[in-house]
Each structure stands twice: as C-alpha cells, then as structure tokens.
A and B are shown apart, each in its own frame.
Chain A
Amino acid sequence: MRMINNLKADPPKIITDLRHLIVSSKEAFGEKYIYTYKEQGEIKNYSYNDLLDNMNYLGTAFAKRGLMGKHIAVIGELHPGWFNTYITTVNGGGVIVPFDKDIDEEHLIDFMELAEVSAVFYTECCNNRILSLADRLPGVELFVSIAPWSEKLTSDKLVAYEDLLAEGKAHLESGCREYLDHEIDMEKMCALLFTSGTTGTSKGVMLSQNNLTAAVNASCLSMSYDSKNTFVSVLPPHHSYELTCGNLSMINIGGWVFINDSIKYVMRNFAYFKPNTLVLVPLFVETMYKKIWDEINKKGMTKKVKLGMKASNALLALGIDKRKEIFSQILDAFGGNLTSIVCGGAPLSPQLIKDFYSFGITILEGYGITECAPLVAVNSPGKIRFHSVGQPVYGCEVKIDKADDEEAGEILVKGGNVMMGYYKNPEATAEVFTEDGFFRTGDIGYMDKDNYIYITGRKKNVIILSNGKNVFPEEIEERLSDVEIISECVVIGRKNENGDIVITAIAVPNMEKLEGKSEEEVYDEVKAAINEANRHLPSFKQVHEIEIRYEEFEKTTSRKIKRYAIK
C-alpha cells in the first residue's frame, strides 16, 4: 500500500529556498505586517520589509563577526528577534539550534556542548538563566539579549540584539556583501532540533534547507492558506510544528501573525486579535470546547443551542450557511472570525470536531514528526475524515510496513521533508531508515483505500500529552530513582476517564525504609516524595497519578524491566 499525493491546486507561492521565502514575501507583501506583538506594555508591529531588512542586517553582523556557518542557539518565547535569529542563521550557511525555554539548566548545557554552539540568542524570559550559565559555556563566543532593557550588559561576550542589527546595517551600507552573496547549499544541515528528553534519550534531528523548503510548500498546499489568514501564535517556536505550519507558512502566504504573550492571556488574545486560523494541539482545542459548553450551560441555553445546531446543520446540507449569524455569541469568544484550526499531536474526539463544525469552525487534524519537518499528513479543507489524520501532504510518500495478514503496521515516510539523520549518531540514523530510504516513524497505523492515514499506536516509550508535548518516561524515572523510599519505578501515560493522557508512576516501595507502615501510610509517603520530585520538573513532566505495587517488575535477562508486560 503506497502512494504519492500530488495536489493539483495552485499554491500561493512555491519557494525554492528559505531566502527566496523572505525575498519573495517582501516583494509581494512589503509594508504589510507579519508580526504584531506586545513588548513592555505596548503593541508593536513588524512588516515583511522588516523581515528582509533585519535578516540582512543581522546576517552582515554575523559575517563581520565570523559567525556565518556557525551553530547558533536560540531560546525563549516567540519574538521577531527570535525568528530573525532563526532565518538569518539558516540563510547564512549556519545551523540554528532552537531550545525549549523550559529545559533545565544541566540539559541545556549538555545539549549546547554537543551542538558546538558559538552564539546564544535569548529572549526576556531567559535573561537571568542564560547569564548565570555563561561561565559554564566556554565554547560560546557571544551572548545576544533580544530584550536588553531588562538587564545590565556587563561583559564583552554580551551584546544587545538591537546593537548587533545596527552594527550589521552600518557594514551593509558600507558595502559588505558577504551575507547577501552567500550561496545556499540545499543539502547541508541548517537546523538541529533536539527531541525532548535527556542527552541519553534525546537525538538531534538534522534538517536541511531542502527539508524545510519541502515542508513549507507542502504545508501551504495542503491547508489552503492564503494572504487573508490572521493567526495567533501560541505554541512554542522551537517546535517544528509551530515554526513550519505557523510561522514559515504564514510568511509564504502573506499572513498576519499575532504573538501570544503569555499562556494566561491566550483566550483574551483570541478575542482581541480575532484570528481566522489557529495552529494548536488538543489541550487548547479541548479547553476551548469545554469553555464553550460551560458558558452555554451557565446561561441555561443548552437546549436552545442544540436545536440551533440541528437547524443550522440542516440548512448547511442545503448549501445555506447561517452559522456565523446563529452562533455569533459563541464565535465572539474567539474574536468572531475563527474558521479553521489545524490540530496535531494526539487525536480529538469526533464529537468535538462535529460540534466545532456546527458552530462554523473547521478542525483539520494532522500528523507530523520532528524528523519530517514535521508535517506528514493532514485533513485538507473539504476532505475531512473523522478519526483519520488525513492524506499524505504534497511530495510525501507514505507506506505501511506490515505483514500481509495484518491491517496495521509501522508508518514509513519518504520525501523532501525527511531529515538528513541524527546528529553525530550514525547508528541511530541507520536504525530509522529502511534499505529503500524510507524513514521509520515509530508510529503504528493503517491507510484506507483513499490513502487516509489512521494512527493506532506507538512503538516507542514516549508519552504524548494532549498539549502535544512529548515526555520520555526514562527522564522522569531517572529523577524518581533518587527517591530513597522507592525501590523501582516505571512511568507510563494512562488515559483517565476524560480520555486525557495522565503521567502515571507505578512505584514499588522500598519496604526496608518503610517497615511497619500501613498500605495507606506507604501510599501517602510515596506520594509526598513524588510531589517533592515534581516541584523540580516542568509542569508538563510532573507525575499526576501514583500506583503502588508490592511485587518487583518482571525483568528481561539483561535485567531491564519488561515495559510491555505492564498493564
């Protein structure tokens, strides 16, 4: 079972590389805003002209400082300066290494050393953290603060982002063309993305300009974006999903991106910025859904709304769309213009998708993986199938590795978007590629006769939460192994009654330390110890359910716990 999906629709623009993306969008959209964002209490704007100008300024500063071709880390929340660091680096022969702002310090140092980072750009939220690490990163020549107003720059190694731009601008105006004339090598690594986890479990995904260009073209083609798109960016920018399907694709089609300034203001920013498109993970969509129904129930309008949905659906079947009028109060909570949400990470309930559609919001579920930059498949507008993550995107070949008598098997992908391999890890790279060059996703699924993909499971231990975050159980287990009153522990993702995946620790208590305690006391002590460990973990990695077992886990001959035997 295999296919290549070649959509016939005319794309807004097919790019040849990421410099072409910026140059062609400046030509097409010039003064139009690409970013609107809040900074120091003010609303600021950033145009398509600024995108190209600032890329050339920063790139020329890189040229002058010998940073072209180097590995550049960027960490923090989305900001035009964050994006400029990314795009300048990839278009100047360098390698961008984006980090999760919630990563803990030890892992950040390990990853930066492994990635041989020469410069670190950081936004306001990371000011104190990065500076406190500066002495432990001898390989880093330059620290660049994208929000220098909130700190004092005290060392030669520190520079303000705005000063770097000014420096580059001066050199550019005096005739320096090194950055402008740089020829892009499409096959060379330009982005290095660490998958979540520890240095032991994480792998650095190497992406080339070829990969990113293919991913942007595929994303724009499959999702029918156009220049009327307004978008609120809420997911972290180091995620390839947000970066490719949100930022790079929006730039290609001439969209307008509003940057959400805090998780606290998400819902308010939707109402204020009035987006028509969102790229989200299930956590957001499910919370929006819950809020809609809570509000309806609170107002005692459940019956009325349900009747309205029936009537509206009947009219829709006749080709009459009155959803905006009927459900304006509901849609106003999200600004009133929202018509589509692209959602990936974990499946949504079909009822939720149907209800949103009844209200006038189309949810396009998709499937991606960092190694594929990331989009592999998506439900295109007008071609949605429930339970499915859609058809393979443009230029992406998908097949299922399965025995003849089985329905499902491992999902394999080939195409311009598939990574070059794992950084400094040829063994791991060899393991994930088949002899005929397909990438093994580690996800299990099947395809129907029309090539819609259905995901049924995963081969790896990774837990995917409804907020789209990947949690590697080994990392939490490593931390819990320090807890004296636990002798063994396995962390798994268990579905609760709401259908949410909850991080659950199954712990075998150390009865030598807990001698004479009742079962209840043992539970309470283990729970207290795990809660204490939780305080040192980012919230998405915290253990929320605890199960106690008194038998040792079943082991393999090499004394590894048999995870698959755990129920």
Chain B
Amino acid sequence: MMFEEVKKILVEEMQVKESDVTLAAELTNDLRINSLELADMVLMCEERFGVEIKDEDLPKFITVGDVVDYLTKNVK
C-alpha cells in the first residue's frame, strides 16, 4: 500500500514520529519538513518507485495524502 511505503520513508529517513504520519498530516506544518527536506524525500520516492517528479510539482505536496495520491497515479 502506497501510504505505508511513504510512511516508511518519512519515519526511517526523515526521522518523523510514526504516530504523526496520517494522510491528512501537512508536511511542513505538522511534520516540520522544510522545502529542502521535501525535495530530498521526493528524490527517495523517485528512486524507490521508479517515477520522475518534476521540481515544479513540489509545491503541490502539502499533505502526506498529496504525495500518496501523486504516486498512486503515476507509479506504473
């Protein structure tokens, strides 16, 4: 399940508390991830799922759910 995969990246690589990761959690506001860390996270998603995410799409990722939706739609 995509949510579980994204959660794994957030918890293991970004040191986010597991219980804080919900679909509605906002990356910047709730999980305290800055734009540079978000870019880093996106790179990890690209590598793990073999998908390319353009820099200009980064602002669209406000919640964990946005990342999950994007990956669900774009990962083959």
Contact = CB atoms under 8 A, between A and B. Distances in A.
B29 interface: yes
B12 to A, nearest CB: 10
A498 B46 CA distance: 29
A262 interface: yes
Interface string A253-275: 00000000011111110000000
Given A264-B42, A264-B55, A539-B58, A545 B35 contact: no
Contact of A263 (B32, B35, B60, B62): B35
Given A264-B42, A265-B43, A544-B26, A284 B56 contact: no
Given A125-B55, A125-B56, A531 B34 contact: no
A542 B62 contact: yes
B36 interface: yes
Contact of A544 (B29, B37, B40, B55): B29
B15 A294 contact: yes
A283 B62 contact: no
Given A544-B26, A544-B29, A263 B59 contact: no
A284 B40 CA distance: 12
Contact of B59 (A283, A287, A294, A542): A542
B23 interface: no
Contacts of A498: 32
B62 A500 contact: no
Q: Which of A262, A467, A500, A540 has the most CB of B within 10 A?
A: A262
Nearest to B59: A539
Contacts of A544: 26, 28-29
Nearest to A541: B59
A268 B42 CA distance: 14
Contact of B40 (A264, A286, A466, A545): A264
Interface string A509-538: 000000000000000000000010011011
Contacts of A537: 59
B16 to A, nearest CB: 11
B62 A531 contact: yes
Contacts of A540: 35
B62 A535 contact: yes
Contacts of A267: 40
B28 to A, nearest CB: 5
Contacts of A531: 62
Given A294-B15, A545-B29, A283 B36 contact: yes
Given A264-B39, A544-B28, A534 B62 contact: yes
Nearest to A101: B56
Contacts of B62: 531, 534-535, 542
B58 to A, nearest CB: 6
B29 A287 contact: no
Contacts of A287: 34, 36-37
B8 to A, nearest CB: 15
Contacts of B32: 498
A563 B43 CA distance: 40
A77 to B, nearest CB: 9
Interface string B45-72: 0100000000110111010000000000
Contacts of A500: 34
Contacts of A467: 34-36
Contact of B55 (A262, A502, A542): A262
Nearest to B35: A539
Contacts of B58: 263, 539
A266 B28 contact: no
Nearest to A534: B62
Given A284-B36, A537-B59, 15 more contacts: A125-B55, A264-B40, A264-B42, A265-B43, A267-B40, A287-B36, A287-B37, A294-B15, A467-B34, A531-B62, A535-B59, A539-B35, A539-B59, A544-B29, A545-B29
- Shortest 5 CB-CB distances between A and B: which pairs? A539-B59, A263-B39, A264-B43, A287-B36, A264-B39
19 contacts: A263-B55, A263-B58, A264-B46, A265-B43, A267-B40, A283-B35, A287-B36, A467-B34, A467-B36, A531-B62, A534-B62, A535-B59, A535-B60, A537-B59, A539-B35, A539-B58, A542-B59, A544-B26, A545-B29
